[in-house]
Structure 1
């Protein structure tokens, strides 16, 4: 398991991926990278665009990174 502070969880059956910050704090359901970036901005990470592909910051679980279609 990663120690990344941000986790983008597997896609839900209806689409979108739950995003958590720091061990379980749910910040939203993302339907795109733009959503993930906005959730991180609201969590205090103003320069979140560059973090999405950094595994020390973001762990993408289940499925491919950057894809939010229904499971």
Structure 2
């Protein structure tokens, strides 16, 4: 796979970021995260083992349109 299977999209103007999954077995939106804690919950639901340890792994998580761990629009 050329790109990360989890995408954290750019922040919405009101805050929060859409989190989506692109994987051969499952694709689609996981939800809107407003914090790292929310993201961890979504990753757990997608079957990621130890999700709190992969947030900064670019092979698994792509932070698109804003820096990692930024939840408000800039």
Deviations 1:5-35 (A, max 9, x none): 0000000011100000116510010100110
1:61 maps onto 2:64 in alignment: yes
**Which segment drifts farther, 38-47 or 4-13?**
38-47
CA–CA distance in structure 2, aligned partners of residues 4 and 63 of structure 1: 16
Moved over 2 A (4+): none
Instruction: Give the 3-state SS of the residue equivalent to 2:3 in structure 1.
Output: coil
Q: Calculate the aligned-residue CA RMSD, in Å.
A: 1.4
Segments of 5+ residues of structure 2 without an aligned counterpart are: none
The alignment of Structure 1 onto Structure 2 pairs a total of residues equal to: 70
Distance between the aligned counterparts of 1:59 and 1:4, measured in 2? 6
TM-score (norm 2): 0.86
CA distance in 2, matches of 1:62, 1:70: 10
What residue number does 1:10 align with? Answer: 10
TM-score, length of structure 1 as denominator length? 0.89
- Alignment partners' CA distance in 2, 1:68 and 1:48: 18
